A and B are shown apart, each in its own frame.
Chain A
């Protein structure tokens, strides 16, 4: 018997081994994709909302409404919805999660994983977790810094009171939680798209359009989207315009488990796909 067989004892349900393998895949993915030159774009996307906010912090805003903290609540909710959630998290997740497998197919290096003694389902979990941790760290940091950069420079004393005595911290945690859920949901979607579609840009654009047009959809169709559930969780409701079809927000106790359930199903689909996947670099 070879040394390999002795060194890595194998049982059909070896949680310890799987955990070690997931940790190794996680570390490898982080080093490959998020600490190299390739990751510059994702950092740029994450920093996107912060550039205008830094400039905004340096100038005195016109109008008396900018002296009222309630205006900031609404402004941040709209900014979070339009810029952070729909743009930064959406495209950031698309870039991160589609590249987990599709990027390796393009680079012709996926076979090294497939030629390792690792269950392909474990590979999916390891890669998904690496994408999830990266996206959550990057985009929650963006969410927090953006909020603080908006509030503190111009209404400092009101902001201090809001975050220490008022509902500021709860708002902040709610936005962070929504960002995490968005990473989870969009991440699973883009992971699976990267596995099934050779050019994942097209489904990404289609989903982007669907999510943007969500405000026009009838209530039943609104529920076939990620943005509807995320918007339902916003601590400050947003105004979607005069043409918006108004629908009841989905309560958190339904919305969150639904999103987690759908994410799990999508990951099972991804695992099934990877289990049966062949390596055909020539045709990719």
Chain B
């Protein structure tokens, strides 16, 4: 199998809704693992997902998933499952009937469809409610039945648009654990979410979108490292923060140092975190300081999001 057959590839993809921009000039290669799409409302996350699944067609460029073009649903959806944000269902069905029916549309016979739907319902912990009408489900249950439907045919690529919406904290944790397990099994998981700390916790890489453009992509920490306009902020808890402050001011890469309110720590802003850590190690090794903790305070997705997209960018 060639390398491109294991990737999701966007090649110069643009999508316009008439005069309105959906996404523009997207070039992406997504490898197995969990990839999160992050951005404010209207950034283009759902457009990107719908393009990936052929629910939308690109105005320009091309998309392929594991070597399959998106205009061939009969091949694509043998390998892809998509849990959309559309909170609607065919009328009058129970959860089990809903999953069974579309497995049979895939081409599975009734017996195999029954087996697969049972497994899917079990995975999302919805077996107890499987024979109730979907119309009577709570929002969280509807979210889970959609997830079950997306994973029931055992796809290799799983695309999930806001899959944690409406789930209570316990189920959220279980669902995130399920995503991690699926990713560990070698699946591609493409997830969009507004909840940055959860995205940060589970993602191997993020794609930040704003106004239809990709603002940044890759591992969160690497993206953060590349943001030279925003020096890294680090909090050092130690016994002599004043002494440390005097020491760090001699370093050219340190742009700011400020004492913590309780005077038991020091905030440092540096343009080169690696050099700062080396320097700190040296200081500790020479016995000049007793350091309790060292923690970067803006080396996470929330900080990256704030810097690149801004505080007004949606509900994040």
Contacts and interface: CB of A to CB of B under 8 A. Distances in A.
Interface of A: 2-5, 7-8, 10, 17, 20-21, 24-25, 27-28, 31-32, 36, 38, 104, 107-109, 111-120, 122, 275-276, 278-281
Contacts of A25: 105
Contacts of B79: 2, 4-5
A160 B108 CA distance: 51
B90 A7 contact: no
A38 B107 contact: no
Interface residues of B, number: 40
A63 B139 CA distance: 66
18 contacts: A4-B78, A4-B153, A4-B154, A24-B101, A24-B105, A24-B107, A25-B105, A28-B101, A31-B92, A107-B91, A108-B88, A109-B90, A111-B86, A113-B102, A114-B73, A116-B106, A278-B56, A278-B57
Interface in B153-176: 153-156
Contacts of B106: 4, 8, 21, 116-118
Nearest to A104: B90
B9 interface: no
A-B CB proximity, top 10 nearest: A24-B104, A108-B88, A117-B77, A8-B107, A4-B153, A279-B55, A2-B154, A4-B154, A3-B154, A119-B74
Q: Is the interface of A mostly helix, strand, loop or mixed?
A: helix
B258 interface: no
Contacts of B56: 278-279
Interface of B: 17, 50, 53-57, 71, 73-79, 81-82, 84, 86, 88-93, 101-102, 104-109, 112, 116, 149, 153-156
Given A10-B74, A25-B105, A115-B82, A36 B55 contact: no
Contacts of A10: 74-75, 78
A276 B17 CA distance: 15
A116 B57 contact: no
A118 B74 contact: yes
Nearest to B18: A283
**A7, A107, A108 pick with most chain B CB within 10 angstroms:** A7
A115 B88 contact: no
Contact of A118 (B101, B105, B155): B105
Contacts of A109: 86, 88-90
Nearest to B149: A112
